[in-house]
């Protein structure tokens, strides 16, 4: 309170003498307060220091937050305390820490709440307004004009914003339910100060965590990439080694070691503690296991093919990966039959020779925690291809040796026969008159079996036809039959055995027919039966089935047990037949159908077959006309640099421009052209055009590739003729490239190699077409003078959708192999930018496909380059 003013005109009274005790007391109180302030300031300092220390401690967030809580508790009453974070973009609130004595579990931390989910929230008000709010919660809400519904009512409530770069980034709140405890301006000021520090501390902490996470993610990605690369390298190295192994162990007796070493290599790539190689003997339909290592099944004796997973892979010709559950499903569906200890995981890939499955390579795991992925399967498939190539090569060598032995044996036999010849000559002279009779018989009979021959049968057919013409109800049918696998038996067992087999077969067929039917041998292993006086087609089928039955029984010849069977074609007499040959030809066609359908069956020659046969004849006729009328023309497709799109060359692609203007791609006629041999003539036409066009093509240095029918490589004069053409057209050999497929190199490998060597020496380039679809064995690349290879277009099509899957690992391996052999690689069938990019990333530098241009006549490309130039 102020002192009263002095009265005017009066002397002010003397000031009272200060009481020293009072002064001392006041001084004491002042010092006390000062001390208090200092110690509070010290506590605050300590607290702030503690806050920043805990924020940088790297401890888990939960610990950091509860430590912050403890520190605030040293400064004020903070039993009820929470921290929130505000996401201004999404307008959401998150409680990062929450402690409340009245409602301990009312809030879940970490969950983001929409504004609307928190009606009447004082905390939101603090954030919205960006300033502290303090007071009893109900009164506070009322003064702000909101209805306080969030949380229990508190006696005193204090919230302050945490400031962020774009306005409040959260709030810190303390509250009291105890009427004895409240908050004043001092606490408010303190909390503002602390909130500031909590904000920086949290940000720093969160930032650190986020950084650590990013580093972690990046590290994992890098690790995965390194693993992927290592995997590709390992795969490539493994394939190299398998190829090398195969050539090291070419003899039969090396087989066990070869398999064991292959097992070792596979084991480095995948878990292969249970591993086996199964081979399928198609003739006996038997599975044998030349190599097997297994924890549960110590021995794998050979077995008759049943319905195991191995057989399943052989029959489908597709690699297979199954878990225990899938295998059980397959078993329940009756697809397979399991035996032995069931594996938790099983994976097998077919080994194929000439596209025919010859066996399976399989791994399995009896443990839940050791499984396989589709990529492992892909890898196993690759290994299987290489092993199959090795087996094929070994078998071919073996067959050659057997053939030599057989030849020697036959020479010996022939010598013996000659010795007997003199004797037989004497006998023949004495039986002179018998000879003439026999000759007559021979003209109409087959010397081996004594059966009528083709001529005899045709005579009978003519007679049957004229009878039918006179009496149409007199039906007849022709059965054309062929012994399955006779050639194999004949080649492997020798002609003596083959002949005996034929005689026995003839005898058995003879049992199935009755007079006046005619059984004839047409040559080789082909027989025909003329069935006269049948009532309907069923009668003919019945006889066919009987014949198949008797031929299905084993043959015992020269002390050996042999198995054969028959495929039968049936043709019934029809009004449209004009000649005996026609009927026989149709029965023959039906027999081919039976064989194609899987042998050991019969097929009827029906309208469909007739039409197909007729269409083929028609097409063949048209092909010949097409040649005469120069209807075969080249289309060109650019081969470009995948980097900048520059044209490097063109592939010549055959087109048939028919008289009506329609242009056909080879798919429609190539098969027949190959079969009939017409392709050779067509190709020569194509080569002449392409070499001629070489002078007109732009850019001037571009090369031209031509496709080679496999037939050419078997013709001994092919290379010479080709080079003559090159010279006649004055074409530069280095601008010419021939494309061959692996199929063309497979039979008569040496002849093919000689032809390619000649071309290569003259400077013509050679590339392997459609690489990756056939054997893809390294040995091919090494054995032939190749300049490059074209990755088959089926690979490009799997490169959609980014990522690492599809054929990427295989392409990567192919590119690596090609690089190490210094071969150029061209990617085919590139249809999209994405595919181009993917191939480029995988190291492929050249390519062709619709993305760069569809095949078109030369004029099209010339016009385009002129257009580009202007």
By C-beta, is 137 or 652 nearer to Ca ion? Answer: 652
Contact between 623 and ligand C2E by CB under 6 A: the answer reads: no
By C-beta, is 350 or 649 nearer to ligand C2E? Answer: 649
For 73, other C-beta atoms within 10 Å of its C-beta total 15
By C-beta, is 707 or 846 nearer to Ca ion? Answer: 707
Q: In what order do the strands lie in the sheet with 602-604?
A: 518-523, 526-534, 475-484, 565-572, 602-604
By C-beta, is 379 or 815 nearer to Ca ion? Answer: 815
Which helix (DSSP H) or strand (DSSP E) does residue 622 occupy?
helix 607-628
Q: Which of residues 734-753 bind ligand C2E (CB under 6 A)?
A: 739
CB 427 within 8 A of CB 389: no
User: Which of 793, 808, 812, 836 touches ligand C2E by CB under 6 A?
Assistant: 793
CB of 764 to Ca ion, least distance (A): 15
Q: CA–CA distance from 1 to each of 4, 25, 26 (Å)? A: 9, 20, 17
371: partner contacted, choices ligand C2E, Ca ion, none (Cβ within 5-8 A by kind): none
Contact between 308 and ligand C2E by CB under 6 A: the answer reads: no
667: partner contacted, choices Ca ion, ligand C2E, none (Cβ within 5-8 A by kind): ligand C2E
Tell me the window of 89-97, 175-183, 190-198, 665-673 that interacts with ligand C2E (CB under 6 A).
665-673
Q: Is 610 exposed, middle or buried (0-12, 13-18, 19+ CB in 10 A)?
A: middle
Tell me the window of 187-195, 326-334, 379-387, 646-654 that interacts with ligand C2E (CB under 6 A).
646-654
User: Which of 122, 849, 858, 861 touches ligand C2E by CB under 6 A?
Assistant: 849
CB 642 within 8 A of CB 852: no
CB 274 within 8 A of CB 293: yes
By C-beta, is 394 or 851 nearer to Ca ion? Answer: 851
Contact between 348 and ligand C2E by CB under 6 A: the answer reads: no
Contact between 693 and ligand C2E by CB under 6 A: the answer reads: no
Pairing of strands 167-176, 156-164: antiparallel
Instruction: Give the residue from 677, 759, 664, 667 showing the smallest Cα distance to 710.
Output: 677
Instruction: Give the residue from 152, 161, 97 showing the smallest Cα distance to 127.
Output: 161
Q: Which of residues 199-258 bind ligand C2E (CB under 6 A)?
A: none
CB 645 within 8 A of CB 699: no
By C-beta, is 311 or 828 nearer to ligand C2E? Answer: 828
Contact between 654 and ligand C2E by CB under 6 A: the answer reads: yes
Q: How far apart are CA 479 and CA 541, in angstroms?
A: 9
Q: What is the DSSP string of 302-346?
A: -EE--SSHHHHHHHH-S-EEEEHHHHHHHHHTTS----SSPPSEE
By C-beta, is 363 or 768 nearer to Ca ion? Answer: 768
Tell me the window of 65-73, 570-578, 648-656, 695-703 that interacts with ligand C2E (CB under 6 A).
648-656
CB of 627 to Ca ion, least distance (A): 21
By C-beta, is 117 or 675 nearer to ligand C2E? Answer: 675
CB of 719 to ligand C2E, least distance (A): 16
CA 483 to chain centre: 39
Phi-psi region of 829 (alpha: psi -120 to 50; beta: other; left: phi over 0): left
Contact between 833 and ligand C2E by CB under 6 A: the answer reads: no
By C-beta, is 157 or 650 nearer to Ca ion? Answer: 650
Instruction: Give the residue from 301, 304, 302, 306 showing the smallest Cα distance to 284.
Output: 304
Contact between 685 and ligand C2E by CB under 6 A: the answer reads: no
CB of 399 to Ca ion, least distance (A): 31
For 28, other C-beta atoms within 10 Å of its C-beta total 10
Instruction: Give the residue from 587, 562, 560 showing the smallest Cα distance to 574.
Output: 587
User: Which of 123, 310, 385, 707 touches ligand C2E by CB under 6 A?
Assistant: 707
Contact between 827 and ligand C2E by CB under 6 A: the answer reads: no
Residue nearest to ligand C2E (CB): 849
Tokens read off for 492: 């492997």
User: Which of 770, 795, 816, 825 touches ligand C2E by CB under 6 A?
Assistant: 770
Contact between 667 and ligand C2E by CB under 6 A: the answer reads: yes
CA angle 754, 758, 760 (to 5 degrees): 110
List residues binding Ca ion (CB under 5 A): 707, 739, 769-770, 828
Please, which residues have CB within 8 angstroms of residue 764's CB and are 6 or more apart in sequence?
722, 723, 726, 733, 734, 736, 737, 738
CB of 820 to ligand C2E, least distance (A): 25
By C-beta, is 482 or 683 nearer to ligand C2E? Answer: 683
CB of 202 to ligand C2E, least distance (A): 56
Q: How far apart are CA 473 and CA 469, in angstroms?
A: 9
The residue ranges of DSSP E strands in 631-764, in sequence order, are 632-641, 647-657, 663-664, 703-707, 736-741
Q: How far apart are CA 151 and CA 99, in angstroms?
A: 12
User: Which of 123, 236, 709, 729 touches ligand C2E by CB under 6 A?
Assistant: 709
By C-beta, is 557 or 654 nearer to ligand C2E? Answer: 654
588: partner contacted, choices ligand C2E, Ca ion, none (Cβ within 5-8 A by kind): none
CB of 391 to ligand C2E, least distance (A): 27
Contact between 662 and ligand C2E by CB under 6 A: the answer reads: no
User: Which of 93, 287, 573, 679 touches ligand C2E by CB under 6 A?
Assistant: 679
Q: How far apart are CA 501 and CA 488, in angstroms?
A: 12
CA angle 286, 289, 290 (to 5 degrees): 120
The residue ranges of DSSP E strands in 488-564, in sequence order, are 518-523, 526-534, 555-557, 560-562
User: Which of 175, 176, 637, 729 touches ligand C2E by CB under 6 A?
Assistant: 637
Footprint of ligand C2E (CB under 6 A): 637, 652-654, 665-667, 670, 679, 683, 686, 707, 709, 739, 769-770, 793, 829-831, 848-850, 855
């Amino acid at each position: 309170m102020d002192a009263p003013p002095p009265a005017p005109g009066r002397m002010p009274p003397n000031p009272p003498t200060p009481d020293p005790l009072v002064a001392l007391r006041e001084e004491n109180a002042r010092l006390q307060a000062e001390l208090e302030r200092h110690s509070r300031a010290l506590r605050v300092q300590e607290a702030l220091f503690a806050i920043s220390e805990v924020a940088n401690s790297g401890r888990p967030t939960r610990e950091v937050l509860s430590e912050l809580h403890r520190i605030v508790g040293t400064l004020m009453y903070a039993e009820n305390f929470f921290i929130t974070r505000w996401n201004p973009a999404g307008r959401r609130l998150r409680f990062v820490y929450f402690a409340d004595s009245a409602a301990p579990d009312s809030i879940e931390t970490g969950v983001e709440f929409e504004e609307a989910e928190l009606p009447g929230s004082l905390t939101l008000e603090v954030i919205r307004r960006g300033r502290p709010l303090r007071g009893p919660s109900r009164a506070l809400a009322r003064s702000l004009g909101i209805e306080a519904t969030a949380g229990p009512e508190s006696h005193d409530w204090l919230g302050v914003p945490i400031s962020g770069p774009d306005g409040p980034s959260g709030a810190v709140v303390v509250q009291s339910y105890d009427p004895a405890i409240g908050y004043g301006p001092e606490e408010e000021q303190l909390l503002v100060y602390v909130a500031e520090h909590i904000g920086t501390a949290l940000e720093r902490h969160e930032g650190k965590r986020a950084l650590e996470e990013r580093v972690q993610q990046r590290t994992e990605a890098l690790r995965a990439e390194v693993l992927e690369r290592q995997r590709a390298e390992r795969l490539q190295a493994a394939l190299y080694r398998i190829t090398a192994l195969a050539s090291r162990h070419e003899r039969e007796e090396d087989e066990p070691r070869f398999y064991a070493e292959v097992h070792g290599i596979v084991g480095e790539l995948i878990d292969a503690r249970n591993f086996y190689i199964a081979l399928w003997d198609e003739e006996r339909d038997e599975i044998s296991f030349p190599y097997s290592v297994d924890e549960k099944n110590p021995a794998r004796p050979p077995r008759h093919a049943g319905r195991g997973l191995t057989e399943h892979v052989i029959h489908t010709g597709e690699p297979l990966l199954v878990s225990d559950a899938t295998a059980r499903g397959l078993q329940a569906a009756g697809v397979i039959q399991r035996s032995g200890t069931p594996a938790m995981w099983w994976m097998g890939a077919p080994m194929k020779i000439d596209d025919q499955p010859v066996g399976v390579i399989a791994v399995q795991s009896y443990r839940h925690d050791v499984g396989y992925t589709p990529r492992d399967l892909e890898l196993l498939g690759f290994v299987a291809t290489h092993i199959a190539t090795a087996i094929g090569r070994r078998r071919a060598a073996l067959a050659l040796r057997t053939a030599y032995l057989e030849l020697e044996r036959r020479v010996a036999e022939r010598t013996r026969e000659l010795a007997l010849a003199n004797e037989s000559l004497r006998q023949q002279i004495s039986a002179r008159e018998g000879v003439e009779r026999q000759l007559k018989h021979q003209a109409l009979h087959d010397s081996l079996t004594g059966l009528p021959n083709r001529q005899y049968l045709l005579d009978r057919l003519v007679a049957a036809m004229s009878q039918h013409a006179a009496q149409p109800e007199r039906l007849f049918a022709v059965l054309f039959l062929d012994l399955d696998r006779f050639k194999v038996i004949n080649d492997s067992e020798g002609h003596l055995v083959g002949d005996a087999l034929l005689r026995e077969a003839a005898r058995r067929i003879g049992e199935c027919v009755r007079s006046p039917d005619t059984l004839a041998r047409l040559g080789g292993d082909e027989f025909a039966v003329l069935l006269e006086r049948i009532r309907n087609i069923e009668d003919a089928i019945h006889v066919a089935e009987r014949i198949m039955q008797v031929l299905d029984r084993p043959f015992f010849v020269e002390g050996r047990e042999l198995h054969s069977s028959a495929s039968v074609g049936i043709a019934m007499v029809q009004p449209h037949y004009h000649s005996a040959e026609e009927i026989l030809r149709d029965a023959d066609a039906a027999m081919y159908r039976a064989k194609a359908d899987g042998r050991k069956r019969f097929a009827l020659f029906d309208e469909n077959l007739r039409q197909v046969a007729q269409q083929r004849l028609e097409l063949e006729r048209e092909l010949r006309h097409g040649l005469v009328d120069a209807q075969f023309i080249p289309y060109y497709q650019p081969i470009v640099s995948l980097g900048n799109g520059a044209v490097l060359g063109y592939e010549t692609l055959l087109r048939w421009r028919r008289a009506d203007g329609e242009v056909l791609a080879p798919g429609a006629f190539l098969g027949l052209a190959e079969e009939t041999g017409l392709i050779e003539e067509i190709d020569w036409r194509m080569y002449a055009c392409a070499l001629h066009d070489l002078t007109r093509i732009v850019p001037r240095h571009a090369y031209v590739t031509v496709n080679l029918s496999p037939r050419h490589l078997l013709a001994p004069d092919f290379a010479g003729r080709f080079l003559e053409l090159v010279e006649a057209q004055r074409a530069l050999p280095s601008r010419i490239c021939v494309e061959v497929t692996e199929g063309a190199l497979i039979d008569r490998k040496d002849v093919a190699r000689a032809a390619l060597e000649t071309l290569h020496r003259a400077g013509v380039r050679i590339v392997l077409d459609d690489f990756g679809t056939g054997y893809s064995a390294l040995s091919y690349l090494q054995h032939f003078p190749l300049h490059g290879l074209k990755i088959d277009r089926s690979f490009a099509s799997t490169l959609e959708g980014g990522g690492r899957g599809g054929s990427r690992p295989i392409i990567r391996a192919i590119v690596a192999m090609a690089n190490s052999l210094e071969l150029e690689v061209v990617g085919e069938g590139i249809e999209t930018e994405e595919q181009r990019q993917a191939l480029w990333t995988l190291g492929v530098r050249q390519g062709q496909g619709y993305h760069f241009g569809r095949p078109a006549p030369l004029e099209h490309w010339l016009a385009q380059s002129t257009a580009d130039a202007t």
